[in-house]
Structure 1
Amino acid sequence: MDTTHLARLRFTAGGPAVEGEWTVAATARDRYTEWVGLYSADPNVVVCLIEKTGGRERVLRTWTAQGETVL
């Protein structure tokens, strides 16, 4: 089973997403960090770092205005 890594950005919780998907985890982490830096001033933004294997997604990190959650 192949694993891919995603960075997902939502401008409102549960809203439409902008997403990138990579085979290299470091690339997804870099994009996650970049998006947090760019959009951290917006209290509605949610940014997630996700690992996807066999169609199943596992959220590794989530950033909201309340701070970051690492799972």
Structure 2
Amino acid sequence: MAGGPMVIGEWADDTTARRSWRDWVGLYGSDEKVVIRLTQEAADSEHVLLAWEQGRAVEAGSDGGHQSGS
């Protein structure tokens, strides 16, 4: 939710980052207001790798993403 509380974490290892994302989805994902994103930062950009919004996984893409059936 825009303007709501935010938690940010940084991991050097991709496996740890993805496991943490799944853990956070398990802990907080049942609240439809929660948005959980795993992003990769480059020099001047940020790429969304995984996203959880409105109680479901969202596929990241160049069009901003669309909701998956999972």
- TM-score, normalised relative to structure 2: 0.72
Unaligned runs of 5+ in 2: 61-70
Q: Which has the higher strand share?
A: 1
2:66 maps to what in 1?
A: none
Quote the sequence identity (%): 37
Structure of greater Rg: 2
Quick one: distance in 2 between partners of 1:38 and 1:66?
Answer: 12
Q: How many residues are treated as equivalent by the alignment?
A: 59
Measured on the aligned residues, the alpha-carbon RMSD in Å equals: 1.4
- Residue in structure 1 matching 2:32, options 43, 57, 65: 43
**What SS does the aligned partner of 1:47 have?**
strand
Change beyond 3 A, Cα 1:66–1:41? closer
The corresponding residue for 1:59 is: 48
